[in-house]
Amino acid sequence: MALLETTHRDFANVSKIIGRHGKGQQELVPILQEVQAEYRYLPEEILSHISTAMGIPPATVYGVATFYAQFSLEPKGKYVIRVCDGTACHVRHSMPIYEAIRKKTGLRGKRITSADGLFTVETVACVGACGLAPVITINDEVYAQMTPEAAEMIIDALMNREVNPVETH
């Protein structure tokens, strides 16, 4: 099955990453960083594989993966939207923007990635553009002086782009 083939291929890649770093426990964070850079998140079966391959208890690997905010155990969407909630953005009403984006992308409860896999919505501390507050980033591109309405329009444009791929003239 395709899933099994993918998993075997992933394990081979992960084994190569572990091979480059070695199996010392101090290498766990750099290994997880490299694995996440490759797959955009840390799949559960790969965490198990890392545990076995490095001889580190699964609870330790899982604990490290969940402790650091930089790691994600959930697949990220094609568009990763980060709403800045640092002080400058917060006082300029970043939270209504965040709520509008979650609603627009159909996110409920603890979900941060939309069911269609298009959008991941997160908050982030200051992104260093306080003079442009409130800001959001989409795949690391900064959008300045946001409002809930402007954010909804941007998401509409991204949704349209997915339905009607960019025309070439």
Question: Pairing mode, if any, of strands 119-124 and 79-84?
Answer: parallel
Residue 88 Cβ vs ligand FES, minimum distance, rounded to whole Å: 4
Contact between residue 133 and residue 145 where contact means Cβ atoms under 8 Å apart? yes
Q: Does 126 help bind ligand FES (rule: CB under 6 A)?
A: yes
Q: Which two tokens stand for residue 106?
A: 């159909």
131 membership: H or E segment, kind and range: none
Residues 33-72 that bind ligand FES (CB under 6 A): none
Binding mask 83-122 for ligand FES (x = CB under 6 A): -x-xxxx---------------------------------
Determine the residue type at 121.
V
The CA distance from 50 to 44, in Å, is: 10
Residue 150 Cβ vs ligand FES, minimum distance, rounded to whole Å: 16
Q: Which residues bind ligand FES (CB under 6 A)?
A: 84, 86-89, 126-130, 133, 135
